[in-house]
Structure 1
């Protein structure tokens, strides 16, 4: 199952066409293309990449359901609170998470393919209130904070950039001169990269390119998982 030939060139062509024709009518007329060139290879990729990721962390969840609850994200956008009423996402996104329950509540490996490139993410894009509380408890814990600092340094030395710093000063309830204020400013924690050769997307080498990035960034996911195991956050 870990063999993956690469996404067909038609995957990104479909996304480019969707970008220019983002209507329900167009999508309905072209749904057979979506099923064949986007959904089917994406689910194959979810299973194949997920099998490899389990060699990094055996507790990674690989869910091949195609209803939006699994590793493959929904094609439809939630436009209720957005000025942009385009009905569909012009990317295909997938995630493999660590933990039971809803996937967005847990640290994850993520990937998206856009009309023009592909990108990877490791960590959490958003801390809900329970996770934000747990994260701050971890920052105040000597051992866990030292681990975070060590991981962040290794990530940056490997050429990646840690993201998630949000507050300009200490958040409410913390002294602005707190010795760990740098880390208390974060309200999410993740690393993203688009360092994927464009021609690799359609070739078997995509597996090794992505696995190499994920393996280097896995300590972020595993640190967040330890935070949840110790302090909750779900």
Structure 2
């Protein structure tokens, strides 16, 4: 097995944690957690190195990329203290590289994702204005064979009606209603634990680039199409 593949034990630990999601069990199994965390860190480091071959990533280490397993339960009805997944994100370097990469490793729910989770009001308006002016560049990307084969369709929260300031009968109203612009590719447990998952994950991130490049152009150019 590729030493940077996800070991079966990384999922087995999560299954046990899901059945025993309490601080007492976790404390008793802290050593097992640390062992699995090191293996997931090695996988993350390998993924970071691969992504850096086709993009420029600001995130410098696997430790910085990985999310904590401890849940913030202060405002949640769910008081279980631990996440039952391994997850992390890579931040693209430079203000002219927009979009974020995310990976989520969980038995029965592994996926590679990316996009724009919470565009602020000015960014969202820039995106919508560009779509309203000419939706064909974005449509060409999300309707391409590589995009539909890899991701299926664009995801994200949408308004139920037309956003304020845009006609309800606009030919691209389905795109204008988006509040988030996300892409995601799901993997089975067999795929996630397979020897080529590292490469598949990196290739999935690479397939996001046309989408990210379009969004980056929209979000970092002024009304004359020049970089801000």
> Does TM, scored on the shorter chain, surpass 0.5?
yes
Residue deviations 1:86-139 (CA, integer Å, cap 9, x gap): 1111101021122459xxxx5122211113342111212332334323322332
SS of the aligned residue for 1:112 comes to strand
Counterpart of 2:27 in structure 1 is: 28
For these two proteins, the number of residue pairs brought into alignment is 218
- Partner Cα separation in structure 2 for residue 158 and residue 30 of structure 1: 38
- Partner Cα separation in structure 2 for residue 174 and residue 159 of structure 1: 28
User: Could you state the TM-score of these two structures normalised by the residue count of structure 1?
Assistant: 0.81
SS of the aligned residue for 1:186 comes to coil
The correspondence for 1:53, drawn from 37, 51, 54, is 51
CA shift for structure 1 position 180: 3.0
Counterpart of 1:44 in structure 2 is: 42
- Partner Cα separation in structure 1 for residue 158 and residue 19 of structure 2: 34
Label 1:159 to 1:79 Cα distance change in 2 as closer, same or farther (>3 A).
Answer: closer
C-alpha contact (below 8 Å) 1:71/1:94 kept by paired residues: yes
C-alpha contact (below 8 Å) 2:118/2:180 kept by paired residues: yes
Residue deviations 1:40-92 (CA, integer Å, cap 9, x gap): 122222221112112222x22333263xxx21112111222221111111101
User: Could you state the TM-score of these two structures normalised by the residue count of structure 2?
Assistant: 0.83
Unaligned runs of 5+ in 1: none
Label 1:172 to 1:90 Cα distance change in 2 as closer, same or farther (>3 A).
Answer: same
C-alpha contact (below 8 Å) 1:167/1:185 kept by paired residues: yes
- Partner Cα separation in structure 1 for residue 104 and residue 214 of structure 2: 23
Unaligned runs of 5+ in 2: 223-228
1:5 correspondence with 2:4:
yes
- Partner Cα separation in structure 1 for residue 100 and residue 143 of structure 2: 20
C-alpha contact (below 8 Å) 2:90/2:100 kept by paired residues: yes
